[in-house]
Structure 1
Amino acid sequence: MPQAMRIILLMLFGQYVYSLEECIKSSVVSCDDCIKSGPSCTWCVDLNFTKPGEPEAVRCDTEAKLKERGCKQNKIVNPPSDLKLNRNKPLSSSGSNPVQLQPQDIELSLRPGDAFTFQLKFKRAQGYPVDLYYLMDLSYSMDDDLKNVKDLGTKILVKLKEITGTARIGFGSFVDKTLLPFTDTTEEKLKKPCPAKALECQPAFGYKHVLSLTADGNKFTKIVSEQKISGNLDSPEGGLDAIMQVVTCVDKIGWGNSTRLLVLATDAGFHMAGDGKLAGILEPNQETCQLDSNHMYSKSNTWDYPSVGQIARKLEEQNIQPIFAVTEDVSLIYKELSKLIPKSEVGVLSKDSSNVVNLIVDAYNKLSSNIIVTHDALPEDISVTYTSNCEGGGKSSEKGTCNNVGIGKEVIFDVTVKAAKCLDASKTLNIGPLGFNEKLKVLVTTRCKCECDNPTGLHEYCNNHGRIFCGTCSCISGYLGQRCECSLGMRDEAALRAQCRKDNGTECEGRGDCECGVCKCHQTDGGKSYYGPYCECDDEHCEKYLNKLCGGNGTCRCGNCICNDDYDGPACQCKKSNEGCQTGETVCHGRGKCVCNQCICESPFKGIHCDDCTGCKLPCQESGSCIECEVFSKGQKNTCTENCKHLKISSVKNLFGKNCQVKDSEGCWMSFSMTRLDGFDKYTVKVLENRECPEGPNVPLIVGGSLAGVALIGLLLLILIKALFYFKDLKEWKRFEKEMQRSKWAQADNPLFKEATTTVANPVFTGDS
């Protein structure tokens, strides 16, 4: 797009935005109130701007509208947001103290709601110092890697100095918490946690700081060569524990004013917050340095592992950029971790870590060339966004990003700061690129006071009873009113103001000024005036229909719609017509009212025309007496006629759709159908002219059958009783036989028995017969 065309479009767009400016004000009674209302609100200080009786609130509006009403430019108060440069050193890419960020210290005075934009420049310096801390996993699986790392110090320093000129290197190691289930806690295993075949093994530990940052590569090689492998039980290690100590122990590690790199070398995953509960650790990580005199992490078995969020925040606070040098099998885990930590890289180690030097150099080049500008924790009610003026930029976001920024290349970021409301005190925030110590200090204040050139002394505009302040009167004691025209005298000011409060509420409902006990109402946003004794009424806040006040079919009066003759409803949205409610000669079948040309049904009826009564029961039983009387001439005819006027009853020879069946007084079944008529209790009833009556009883058959039944029952009873006696006797006989069989008769002589020894003979008896 040609440059001229872009300029024209920007001008048109600016005019469009300007035309959309609006000053949304409420309860504005002073210039300060106006300025606080929004960035588009301005105040006219011209004494002759208001008409007699017109409220001072009309002085507050957009600059364009105030000019339309006749306020001159030099009489409009519109304090702008502005910027003050406190320190603004030019960018320099070389020297002992290069400047990579400009400006360095500013003050912003912001109108509430106004988005203020300024430029932040960054230029990568040649020879900017680098601090690299090598944090190594010393679990037994890293035995081969340790042998190679012992010779790394000098190589890493040489490579980094080729890029930056100044570099330092440090070393630390970690394994895991020395508690079950992470480490075998038997005394022998704590002293030598490695397998039996290992010749050298140091006792189990969590994290140990070995060497502070130094530019002496030989010292690094010597100290690291003295390190021994260790071990633990489970696969994940305590890497996050170690990172937290490296980040928080700034002085002991020796971090300087430099690009800070942390290399984590491991072949395993990591434990995170919550895993400590497996070992009974309940206290969360406190994010502080806890190295003892031996440079060991003293809270390893007391504090839980830190969370990923804690690690990401602390790394960002200290401008430390992590490089995860990991083996292939766990690279996916650390790539996911890298997504949660800004300015971090993942490199894949060879099996013996022989490629670690090139891996570190490649990761450093990527990290240092990707510039991400952001801020620290923002004060409440302040927001910051960034727009990058580089390839791929142009979109406003919470972070400004420029990739592939070479050494000596300058990039610019548009920084937009906004204060949502007036601040009670000044607020400070820091803005800068991640991974670099240089930050822009921003002091934010808000402009919520009018800055007017006020005349001194009492002024005739205020009837010499007040002073001018931004075009309005500030009355001396004993006077009040828009122009101090009301003298209190012996009257109490509070009593006068109480007369302007409805039901002891807000003075003039917040829509007017109380002058000498009388409300002088302000204008509405539509240019009309509030009215009523307490300014409680206006004609612009009635209900709307189709985005029209009172639907365009009535007049708004004191918040209520007064509808035209042909319309009804709270917003005059209803045309007075029953056309949509007609159901023959009735409206809504006589079961509801027609409102807004729609039926409003009475319970239990529903539906568009109140013709649905799902679940309602027909009064079949209640209608039985009427049907018996009308159709079958049973009961009292006159009484029946009076009580059955709601039913239109007729008899038919054949009945289809029978929905009722009721017994009459003679026990006959009456079958009929009932259909609802318009209204609530009216029905058309069609009755089958033939009843279903039960046949009379057969007396001879009933008597004969009864006698035969009695005789049969008696015979059955006799047989039953006889059978009971028989079975009882039979049972007793069998029991007797069993007793007889059980008895045994003994044959023995009775020792007490003596046979007779006396013989008596009859002398007469001769023996002859």
Structure 2
Amino acid sequence: MVALPVVLVFLLVLSRGESELDAMISLSEKATEWRDPDPSLLGSCQPTSSCRECILSHPSCAWCKQLNFTASGLAEERRCGRRQELLARGCPLGELEEPRGRLEVLQDQPLSPGTRGEGATQLAPQRVRVTLRPGEPQQLRVRFLRAPGYPVDLYYLMDLSYSMKDDLERVRQLGHDLLVQLQQVTHSVRIGFGSFVDKTVMPFVSTVSSKLRHPCPTRLERCQPPFSFRHVLSLTGDAKAFEREVGRQNVSGNLDSPEGGFDAILQAALCQEQIGWRNVSRLLVFTSDDTFHTAGDGKLGGIFMPSDGHCHLDSDGLYRRSPEFDYPSVGQVAQALSAANIQPIFAVTSATLPVYQELSKLIPKSAVGLLSEDSSNVVQLIMDAYKSLSSTVTLEHSPLPPGVHISYESQCGDPEKREGEAGDRGQCNHVRTNQTVNFLVALQATHCSSEPQLLRLRALGFSEELTVELHTLCDCNCSDTQPQAPHCSDGQGLLQCGVCRDCAECGAFGTGPLALNCSRACGFLNVTLTSAPILDDGWCKERTLDNQLFFFLVEEGAGGKVVLRVRPKERADHTQTIVLGCVGGIVAVGLGLVLAYRLSVEIYDRREFRRFEKERQRLNWKQDSNPLYRSAITTTVNPRFQEAGSPLL
């Protein structure tokens, strides 16, 4: 019983070892993904039997395609090694196959500040093609010039709950002052206006008819019905139009403290046509004196459907489907703002400042400012936030294709003052106008891709993009490929990268180095399996990659086509069968023991029950009297008592 587990463990280890060997030489695995080698083999190359497998095994690997480079009896895997090793072993430099990634600049317009901010070229290059060998990084230098006077679109989004009544009076005179201030830093600026309160369902808003018409505390105040979000004024350069439309606005009211600001932000980012966003710097100024509802809060009002991430403004600019969808999450808001290239400025009061500061950490290229109780400092707050945002250059990328890694290194000033920290985005702070900063972008592939992939880089807050065409280099481009080469089996084999590639294995068994392209590489052959005996020495003997022996015979078929008759493999690998058999036997024995134990317990229980029944039937006391019970009354007979009729003693 002890020997059986020992044998089982040995077979499992043997099976695992062979599986790992198969994985090392499996073309399909190595053709799709490059993996880091074992740390002890770092910088070395794994033995492989083809040039493709060699270059995919490690980025430092090269392949020697010189004919007869390996001596008789030596494996072709010795052709794979590091460049220095192969040269030292006598491989001519011209016979080395060592494909390397490359970078081609397809469009590179020079950086230019333009005229009064118009027509500026701030990001260069504009289009590149990068060819990546798996495991080998390629570095791309991206330049950015901060042009002065870059156009700005500013959308003012205001909380119109009742507590913002005094702030509305200030905002009504905001348009002219804000345009004057912005025109000092840019020659093209437009402003727009939108407002929000909360969802018009309980418990966020009172649904009593009178309160829906007039939610303010007193009937004497000018007040409008509550709403979720209303787009009031599209982006315009007319300051008077801004002041006129804002002057028509009245406060409203709701019940709870948090507001529906996230609904408003999401719609302002998604409804770009209605808002009128241009392809310029986009700012969204969000003013409120309270916190915000987020995803999940809608369940309090019986709203369970998540926000669908689409624009739902009607012809009046009102978000009427607000009662149907839950509030968006922080992630949805951040993603929508980033996709629309909008930079939010949160102008909030001191009570909620810490909350919005934490929110700003989750939204790239955002700013937070302290708003006075009556919003008297809103213009200065916006200007400070705009200067901070415009002087911060953040380079980021679109979603990465599968198997591609990216990292950034920012060079923000003089060579001795460079910021060299790598991360998932590049960033330089306090960039002055007309100053150029550089970003080193490192790209690396771990997978092979049959189709080109597109990757886009952009500086947040600016409209220009860099398009990167990504290609993967996963095969050798040997110039010696020759079908029916005289060097290979008297003209019956395919010469590629200095070695013969026999078509018998892939044609008969679907395995081997040519398994993936057997029909193309061996289309001139007709391969058939046969069980005919080996009668002479004309049969060729070969071994498969898993070291199994097979024989094949080269014949001339009809029409001059070469025919390969292949005998099945001589030795089958029974390791897996043995292991599965042992495991199955142990499981069967275990189940048998369990069943035997259960059966013995059942037999014993039944025997004891029958014994109990027999004992019970043999009871000799009366069933109407409990023998364990003793009465509390004791009867004693007087010995001197003599019954009537008894003789006297």
Q: TM-score with structure 2 length normalisation? A: 0.72
Conservation of the 8 A alpha-carbon contact between 2:283 and 2:343: yes
Conservation of the 8 A alpha-carbon contact between 1:509 and 1:535: no
Note if 1:278 corresponds to 2:303.
no
- 1:46 corresponds to which of 66, 74, 97: 66
Give how far 1:291 is off.
0.3
Note if 1:415 corresponds to 2:453.
no
Alignment partner, residue 247 of structure 1? 269
**CA 1:175–1:509: 2 relative to 1, 3 Å:** same
Cα separation, 2, equivalents of 1:408 and 1:476: 64
Alignment partner, residue 84 of structure 1? 104
Alignment partner, residue 363 of structure 2? 341
Partner SS state of residue 387, structure 2: helix
Alignment partner, residue 35 of structure 1? 55
Conservation of the 8 A alpha-carbon contact between 1:38 and 1:111: no
Give how far 1:465 is off.
2.8
Which string of whole-angstrom CA distances, capped at 9 and with x for unpartnered residues, describes residues 744-764 of structure 1? xxxxxxxxxxxxxxxxxxxxx
Cα separation, 2, equivalents of 1:365 and 1:439: 22
Opposite residue 138 of structure 1, the aligned amino acid is L
Note if 1:375 corresponds to 2:397.
yes
Alignment partner, residue 497 of structure 2? 470
- More deviation in 270-279 or 145-154? 145-154
Note if 1:24 corresponds to 2:51.
no
**CA 1:497–1:60: 2 relative to 1, 3 Å:** farther
Opposite residue 245 of structure 1, the aligned amino acid is Q
Give how far 1:64 is off.
1.8
Give how far 1:48 is off.
2.3
Give how far 1:477 is off.
8.4
Alignment partner, residue 678 of structure 1? none
Alignment partner, residue 393 of structure 1? 419
Cα separation, 2, equivalents of 1:119 and 1:169: 36
Conservation of the 8 A alpha-carbon contact between 2:281 and 2:462: yes
Note if 1:117 corresponds to 2:36.
no
Kindly name which structure, 1 or 2, has the bigger radius of gyration based on alpha carbons: 1
Give how far 1:37 is off.
2.2
Note if 1:156 corresponds to 2:178.
yes
**CA 1:120–1:495: 2 relative to 1, 3 Å:** farther
Give how far 1:493 is off.
5.3
Cα separation, 2, equivalents of 1:476 and 1:22: 30
Conservation of the 8 A alpha-carbon contact between 1:509 and 1:534: no
- 2:251 corresponds to which of 203, 219, 229: 229
Conservation of the 8 A alpha-carbon contact between 2:549 and 2:571: no
Give how far 1:90 is off.
1.1
Cα separation, 2, equivalents of 1:24 and 1:262: 56
- 2:453 corresponds to which of 419, 427, 445: 427
Conservation of the 8 A alpha-carbon contact between 2:157 and 2:196: yes
- 2:80 corresponds to which of 54, 60, 63: 60
Conservation of the 8 A alpha-carbon contact between 2:548 and 2:571: no
**CA 1:510–1:461: 2 relative to 1, 3 Å:** closer
Cα separation, 2, equivalents of 1:496 and 1:346: 81
Opposite residue 495 of structure 2, the aligned amino acid is I
Alignment partner, residue 443 of structure 1? 469
Conservation of the 8 A alpha-carbon contact between 1:496 and 1:516: no
**CA 1:385–1:498: 2 relative to 1, 3 Å:** farther
Partner SS state of residue 35, structure 1: helix
Conservation of the 8 A alpha-carbon contact between 1:392 and 1:402: no
Which string of whole-angstrom CA distances, capped at 9 and with x for unpartnered residues, describes residues 139-159 of structure 1? 111111111101111211111
Conservation of the 8 A alpha-carbon contact between 1:82 and 1:109: yes
Partner SS state of residue 100, structure 2: coil
Cα separation, 1, equivalents of 2:384 and 2:222: 34
- More deviation in 396-405 or 300-309? 396-405
Partner SS state of residue 306, structure 2: coil
Number of aligned residue pairs = 498
Identity of aligned residues (%): 44
Conservation of the 8 A alpha-carbon contact between 1:94 and 1:127: no
Q: 1:118-197 alignment to 2 at 5 Å?
A: 118-197=140-219
Give how far 1:182 is off.
0.3
Conservation of the 8 A alpha-carbon contact between 1:511 and 1:535: no
Cα separation, 2, equivalents of 1:88 and 1:496: 65
Alignment partner, residue 510 of structure 1? 545
Give how far 1:162 is off.
0.5
The structure whose RCO (Cα within 8 Å, separation 6+) is larger is: 2
Conservation of the 8 A alpha-carbon contact between 1:512 and 1:535: no
Give how far 1:359 is off.
0.1
Give how far 1:424 is off.
2.9
Note if 1:303 corresponds to 2:325.
yes
Cα separation, 2, equivalents of 1:401 and 1:494: 64
Conservation of the 8 A alpha-carbon contact between 1:47 and 1:472: yes
Conservation of the 8 A alpha-carbon contact between 1:89 and 1:103: yes
Partner SS state of residue 510, structure 1: coil
Give how far 1:381 is off.
0.9
Which string of whole-angstrom CA distances, capped at 9 and with x for unpartnered residues, describes residues 187-228 of structure 1? 111111111154211111110000111111111111111111
- 2:279 corresponds to which of 230, 246, 257: 257
Note if 1:357 corresponds to 2:379.
yes
Alpha-carbon RMSD across the aligned residues, in angstroms, is 3.1
**CA 1:178–1:716: 2 relative to 1, 3 Å:** same
**CA 1:457–1:716: 2 relative to 1, 3 Å:** closer
Give how far 1:363 is off.
0.4
Unaligned stretches of 5+ residues in structure 2: 1-38, 514-524, 535-541, 554-569, 574-632, 642-649
